[in-house]
Amino acid sequence: MGQLFESVIMAMKAILQNKTRAFLTMLGIIIGILSVSLMGTAISGIDEVFENSIQGMGQDVLYIQKYPWFMMNDEWWEYRNRPDIEEEYAEQILERASTIAFATPSSGRRSDVKYGKNAVERVEINGTTWQEAYISALKLESGRFFSEPESRYGTRVAVIGYDIKTNLFPDEDPLGKEIIIQGNKFRIIGVIAQQGKFLGLMSMDNIVTIPLKSLQNIFGGRWGVSVSVKPKEGVTVEQAKEELMFIMRGLRGLKPREENDFSINQQEAFREQFASIRMAISAVGLGITVLSLIVGGIGIMNIMFVSVRERTKEIGIRKALGAKKNIILFQFLSEAVIISLIGGTIGILITVGLVGLLQKFFVARLSIDLIIISLSVSVITGVLSGIVPANMAARLNPIEAIRYE
Amino acid sequence: MALLELKQVTKVYQVGAVAVHALRGIDLMVEKNEYVSVMGPSGSGKSTLMNVIGCLDTPTSGTYILDGKTVHDDRIEQSSNGKLSDDELAFVRNQKIGFVFQTFNLLPRITALHNVELPLIYAGIHKKDRIEMAKEALRKVNLEDRMHHQPNELSGGQRQRVAIARALVNNPSIILADEPTGNLDSKTSREIMQLMDHLHDEGNTIILVTHETDIAKHAHRVVHFLDGLIASDELTPKGKG
């Protein structure tokens, strides 16, 4: 025990005697650990934002739409000839289906939204029915969603997203206030809780939701919609999807051999898409990280060889006095690990600072797990880069070492 | 039984394609509390002998027994401990040998006390006892008041006394001094040799390598080396008296 302690003390003394050199050596590790922890922070941040924004969609919600969510560029030409999805489908589905609890048509248009002097340009105005509140599992920050009669009669009421609220009503309560959409007044009855953005994915934060009928009134005319469907409790999404497919084919009058002329989309598709993006980001990040750690490790190895060379005589003296191989090995190994660990700690501290800064623009959080992983990675780097020089020190011939000047 | 016994010890170095015979069959016995000088021109093999005795190096052939411990015996199979491993040699050095070098070989940047502690650290002695023993050793060489100084704050004579304290601290079977006065002026040399004589009086066994006759006279027995062999082995006037 005393011997190991002595080794660590001597290792620290050696580092303190060459502070500048040790610091320069650390730089590689600092950068390496910085990229480990930043990468980890970014990925967990992306995960969190993704989960938040996908929540608004509802886990088990199916969307009957003209286009599938993800398609190749040239496929679009095939899908555009499909007939539009009619808003009546929603009611017809509810009548026929045994697995469906809610179904609502929705459609969107873009418009400027004003309140007094404040305005937000080109806001997504989403028209839907009262059932949307049950389908999307929306969390409201305040107020309520619109009711069945409000849907049916196309009352001029609106539920606004978090960003709309902060832009139009920086310091007042929006409930009961009237905003202007396309020259029409809409009374605000609810505000949706903040969701966060994800890679350009549609976010509920920047949306104004009004009854579909009102949307049709103010924009004039009717057009294709998307029908959102929520299965009953105890029914799997797959079962519901199967029944939905059958009903839709009936509504469209398709013969058995004919292909579907509609798409049934679900959250799953986003997850798959997200997983591949996340994989790409992780792979690039991992590559950069491993590369910088290798460079940092080589730096340490290099300086350890110099350190062993410089202290050859010391090693000889210690061996003459009875130091065994492992003790010498441990002394130099601890020097490498200490350098690497200090570098890693500095890297984490810088990350903590950067994360604090990043949080202003992006969801970023440095987890304890990530700190532990980063510190372990720096210890491992230290051991790997120190083992060869330390082994060289341990194997020195005492007679030759003690004569070395 | 002799404290130290060498039988037909040879050492051959391979320098490139040439085999250098540094020791050509040495027989030497040293008893407990003997005071032996080893003399001889450079290249005569006396340094190699010191390395072998000090367990820094192993013989090519022959037998070496130190204080009842077989360090090397080529009649015994390697597997049954006829030859010690590096770590076993380190253990023997730590327990049985006290080195005093011409160039002192103290570690810089640590105190005299810490230098003296080193053999005890490697012997695994507890810190409290260790510091007591190291202080006691420094007291024996009259350097108690300098124990918190680093080597570069000490004179040559003081440094060599720290080195002697370090050699003494683990109660070795034998003290090996290699030209201990080689780097010192004559006055300091006398002081160091008085200290060596005193250590011998206290019961220590000392082997002293030197090329100065005056220094060699302090011992009771002088062994002359020439070309890897013992040329003469006789008692000094001090030894006879």
How would DSSP label each residue in B158-194? HHHHHHHHHHHTT--SEEEEESTTTTS-HHHHHHHHH
The closest CB to that of B109, out of A3, A13, A325, belongs to A13
Helix (H, G, I), strand (E, B) or coil at A331: helix
Q: Is B49 exposed, middle or buried (0-12, 13-18, 19+ CB in 10 A)?
A: buried
How many domains does one find in chain B? 1
Measured between CA atoms, the residue of chain A closest to residue B116 is A321
The verdict on a CB contact (< 8 Å) between B94 and A321 is yes
pLDDT mean over A295-310: 94
Contact A2 B90 (CB under 8 A): no
> Given an 8 Å threshold on Cβ–Cβ distance, is A322 in contact with B123?
yes
Q: Which of A321, A326, A327, A400 would best serve as a mutation to test chain B binding (most B beta carbons within 10 A)? A: A321
A313: which chain B residues are within 8 Å (Cβ-Cβ)? Answer: 105
- Cα separation of B4 and B66, whole Å? 5
User: Which residue out of B46, B86, B115 would a mutagenesis test of the A interface target, given it has the greatest number of A Cβ atoms within 10 Å?
Assistant: B86
Q: Where are the domains of chain A?
A: 2-53+272-403, 86-235
Q: Quote the ipTM score.
A: 0.94
- Distance from C-alpha of A373 to C-alpha of A43, rounded to nearest angstrom: 14
CB contact under 8 A, B93 and A322: yes
For A339, list phi and psi in degrees, rounded to 5.
-55, -45
Smallest CA–CA distance, residue A13 to chain B, in Å, is 9
CB atoms within 10 A of CB A359: 14
Q: Judge: A399–B51 Cβ closer than 8 Å, yes or no.
A: yes
Contact A320 B54 (CB under 8 A): yes
Ranking A56-65, A132-141, A236-245, B174-183 by mean pLDDT, the lowest is A56-65
Rounded to the nearest integer, the mean pLDDT of chain A is 89
Q: Is residue B71 part of a domain?
A: no
Confidence of residue A190 (pLDDT cuts 50, 70, 90): very high
Q: How many CB pairs under 8 A join A and B?
A: 63
Please report the residues numbered 70 through 99 in chain A whose beta carbons come closer than 8 angstroms to any beta carbon of chain B.
Answer: none
Q: Compute the radius of gyration of chain A from its Cα atoms.
A: 32
Q: Say if strands A140-143 and A184-192 run parallel, antiparallel, or are unpaired.
A: antiparallel
Which residues of A fall within a CB distance of 8 Å from B101? 402
CATH code of B160's domain: 3.40.50.300
**Is residue A12 less than 8 Å (CB to CB) from chain B?**
no
- Other C-beta atoms lying within 10 Å of the C-beta of residue A325: 17
Q: Would the pLDDT of A363 be above 80? A: no
For A170, the token pair is 């920086």
Integer Cα distance of B8 and B30 in angstroms: 15
A313-362 pLDDT tens trace: 999 999 999 999 999 999 999 999 999 999 999 999 999 998 888 777 76
B70 occurs within a structural domain: no
Residues A276-288 have pLDDT tens digits of: 888 988 898 889 8
Using the Cα atoms of residue A204, residue A208, residue A214 and residue A220 in order, give the sign of their dihedral: negative
A402 touches chain B (CB under 8 A): yes
pLDDT (tens, 9 = 90+) of chain B, 241 residues, equals: 789 999 999 999 888 899 999 999 999 999 999 999 999 998 899 989 999 999 999 999 999 999 988 898 887 765 556 678 899 999 999 999 999 999 999 999 899 999 999 999 999 999 999 999 999 999 999 999 999 999 999 999 999 999 999 999 999 999 999 999 999 999 999 999 999 999 999 999 999 999 899 999 999 999 999 999 999 999 998 888 7
Tokens 């600072």 -> residue = A353
Q: Are A322 and B94 an interchain contact pair (Cβ–Cβ within 8 Å)?
A: yes
The answer to whether residue B22 sits within a structural domain is no
The answer to whether residue B75 sits within a structural domain is no
* pLDDT reading at A272 higher than 90: no
Whether residue A152 is predicted with pLDDT greater than 80 in this model: the reply is yes
For residue A334, the model assigns a pLDDT of 94
**Whose CA is closest to A181, among A136, A217, A151?**
A217
Burial A80-113 (b: 16+ CB within 10 A, else e): eebeebebebbebbbeebebbbbbbbbbbbebeb
The minimum CA-CA distance between A12 and chain B, rounded to whole Å, is 13
CB contact under 8 A, A322 and B90: yes
Is some CB atom of chain B closer than 8 A to the CB atom of A399?
yes
In a domain, B194, yes or no: yes
Nearest to A125 by CA among A115, A136, A112, A114: A112
Query: Is residue B27 domain-resident?
Result: no
DSSP 8-class letter at B76: S
Contact B124 A2 (CB under 8 A): yes
Percentages helix, strand, coil for chain B (3-state, rounded to 5) are 35, 30, 35
For B227, phi then psi, to 5°, come to: 50, 45
Whether B130 maps to a domain, the answer reads yes
Report yes or no: A176 and A188 within 8 Å, Cβ to Cβ: yes
Cβ-contact A203, A195 below 8 angstroms: yes
pLDDT of the residue at A104: 94
Q: What is the mean pLDDT of residues A365-388?
A: 91
pLDDT digits (tens, 9 = 90+) for A28-84: 999 999 988 888 888 888 888 777 777 666 678 899 999 888 777 778 888 888 889
The domain in which residue B96 lies consists of 32-59+83-240
State whether B105 and A13 contact (CB < 8 Å): no
Is residue A269 over pLDDT 90? no
Residue A199, pLDDT > 60, answer no
Neighbour order of strands in the sheet with B97-100: B97-100, B174-178, B206-209, B35-39, B221-226, B229-235
- Residues of chain B contacting A398 with CB distance shorter than 8 Å: 56
The conformational region for residue A150 under phi > 0 = left, psi -120 to 50 = alpha, else beta, is alpha
Q: B174, exposed or middle or buried, with CB in 10 Å at 0-12, 13-18, 19+? A: buried
